[in-house]
Amino acid sequence: MHFITEQDIQFENRKTPLSKFFLASDDRLTPGARQYLIDHQIKVVDSNSKVDSVTTTVEDVEKKTEELNQNFQLLELELQDAALKANEVDLAASQRIFSLSEMPVKIQQNQVVDSLEEIVPSKEEQSQLNKQNLLTPQGKILIKLKRSQVVANGLKGQTTDSQSDSLDSLIQCIDNEIHLLIGEGHDGSE
């Protein structure tokens, strides 16, 4: 992550007057830089956007960043809630889900997330919830895990390619956990 200061922008603006400022995906503005852009009515072109050449104001970039932060936090909270519910039914599942709940922060901070496969054994088919699954003791956990997948899928459109790939891995791990819980619900073991 690279922080752009007010002095950086002033230097660029002196060389060539800016009407737009291009913000790379790993760049962040300091408060002084943000205020300078606002004061000089310089538009920010956000490279995080999936749409090319989208011109936004600094406030728009801040709003998108805040929304992204909140969605990562929501994903973390959904997984933590699922882990707490799992604690009442299956301690091993609870521990696996708590491990998964640590991943959103790592993904958001662009940390390498390559150990997801170790958390939950892989399954090949996509899990589908039905009424029978939801009426088991694991039902509330299953719903929370599915909600987590929905949040993670929503985040994919707002993140960098590497973060999106990590979110795909997380979604697959959540799906694997759902498979394990459904299997436990069918054979009666906890």
Q: For residue range 25-70, what is the model confidence (pLDDT) as tens digits?
A: 778 888 888 888 888 888 888 765 544 444 556 667 777 778 888 8
Average pLDDT along the chain: 77
Does residue 102 register a pLDDT over 60?
yes
Task: Please report the DSSP string for 28-92 in residue order.
Answer: EE-HHHHHHHHHTT-EEEETTSSSTT-EE-HHHHHHHHHHHHHHHHHHHHHHHHHHHHHHTT-HH
Ranges 32-41, 71-80, 105-114, 117-126: which has the least confidence: 117-126
* pLDDT score, position 7: 92
The average pLDDT across 66-76 equals: 87
| CA separation for the pair 83, 90 (Å, rounded) | 9
11-28 pLDDT, tens digit each: 888 888 888 888 887 788
Position with higher pLDDT, 47 vs 140: 140
Alpha-carbon Rg of the chain, whole angstroms? 21
The average pLDDT across 79-84 equals: 90
Does residue 76 register a pLDDT over 50?
yes
Global confidence as pTM: 0.56
